[in-house]
């Protein structure tokens, strides 16, 4: 919780606050505690969903429909970045602020620093797949904008499984990685079983199994075996979570 004072300071010092969320899990990845603090501050808020390249077109359509006024970007594919930058600059003009201060907030690993780098068109901020890279905050000049990067913070009530799913917690630090991996597998079995099948080279029969059994099949395919040919469930689960968090495993695989 040591980062909360920094985030609160970012919100306080910003004219506009950009809340970044993960398009794959739009509700889970919206940091509700940060949203409450922004609302209390009365600051103008822009919601940005990152990683739209990792979701199905139909899901993106629903996301746009359910989040009017939000921005939908893919840092990897450079989609929506120019539109977001232009909007922020125009918003500053409408607010009669020549150089509006823009605070970027959200959970760890939703892509805040990557969004800033894309806006700036250069690697201005340290980026890492390890949750919690950003420390303190820094001002970054982007055209007429002054952008503040902030550390990702986690509300106290958030649970272990959720933190693993939204990449706010590193796989090795999750208490029960098998549970998180099973949740990921369940999402794919419901949304995009063929993507899961292709990524892990599973058979059609494998997709009829329960999530835990699919995890075991993935472990066998990857050769994650212990003595006696027993699947190393923990190693398999951690790898599934890591591939999900880094985008190697996606609904568009």
Give me the pLDDT at residue 13, please.
87
Topology classification of domain 170-246: Conserved Hypothetical Protein Ylqf; Chain: A; domain 2 (1.10.1580)
Domain 4-149 belongs to what topology? Rossmann fold (3.40.50)
Task: Retrieve residue 58's tokens.
Answer: 């139909």
The HSE-up count of residue 77 (CA atoms within 13 Å, CB side) is 12
Domains 4-149 and 170-246 share a fold: no
Q: Which of 68-72, 113-117, 163-167 has the lowest mean pLDDT?
A: 163-167
* Mean of all residue pLDDT scores within the chain: 83
Query: What's the pLDDT score for residue 156?
Result: 47
pLDDT value of residue 121: 74
Taking residues 213-229, what's their average pLDDT?
Answer: 91
State the average pLDDT over residues 181-205: 92
Q: What is the greatest pairwise CA distance in the chain? A: 70
Instruction: At 153, list the tokens.
Output: 């913070």
Domain ranges of the chain: 4-149, 170-246
Distance (Å, whole) CA 241 – CA 180: 7
Banded pLDDT at 130 (limits 50, 70, 90): very low
The 10 Å CB-count burial string (b at 16+, else e) for 124-154 is: bbeeeeebbbbeebeebebeebbbbbbbbbb
Count the Cβ atoms, other than its own, within 10 Å of residue 88: 22
Q: What is the pLDDT of residue 151?
A: 60
**Helix, strand, coil percentages for the chain (3-state, nearest 5):** 45, 15, 40
- Spatial separation of the C-alpha atoms in residues 64 and 79, rounded to whole Å: 14
């Amino acid at each position: 919780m040591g980062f909360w004072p920094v985030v609160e300071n970012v919100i306080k010092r910003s004219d506009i606050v950009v809340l970044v969320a993960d398009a794959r899990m739009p509700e889970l990845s919206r940091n509700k505690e940060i949203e409450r603090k922004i609302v209390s501050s009365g600051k103008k808020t822009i919601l940005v969903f990152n990683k739209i390249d990792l979701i199905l077109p139909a899901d993106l359509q629903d996301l746009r429909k359910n989040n009017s006024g939000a921005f939908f970007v893919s840092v990897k594919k450079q989609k929506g970045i120019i539109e977001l930058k232009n909007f922020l600059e125009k918003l500053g003009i409408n607010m009669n602020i020549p150089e509006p201060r823009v605070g970027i907030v959200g959970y760890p690993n939703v892509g805040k620093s990557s969004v800033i780098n894309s806006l700036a068109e250069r690697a201005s901020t340290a980026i890492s797949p390890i949750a919690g890279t950003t420390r303190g905050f820094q001002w970054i000049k982007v055209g007429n904008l002054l952008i503040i990067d902030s550390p990702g913070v986690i509300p106290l009530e958030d649970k272990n499984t959720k933190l693993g799913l939204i990449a706010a917690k590193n796989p090795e630090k999750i208490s029960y990685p098998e549970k998180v991996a099973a949740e990921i597998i369940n999402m794919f079995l419901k949304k995009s079983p063929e993507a899961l099948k292709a990524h892990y080279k599973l058979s059609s029969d494998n997709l009829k199994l329960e999530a835990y059994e699919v995890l075991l099949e993935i472990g066998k395919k990857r050769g994650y075996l212990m003595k006696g040919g027993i699947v190393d469930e923990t190693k398999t689960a951690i790898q599934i979570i890591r591939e999900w968090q880094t985008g190697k495993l996606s609904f568009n695989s």
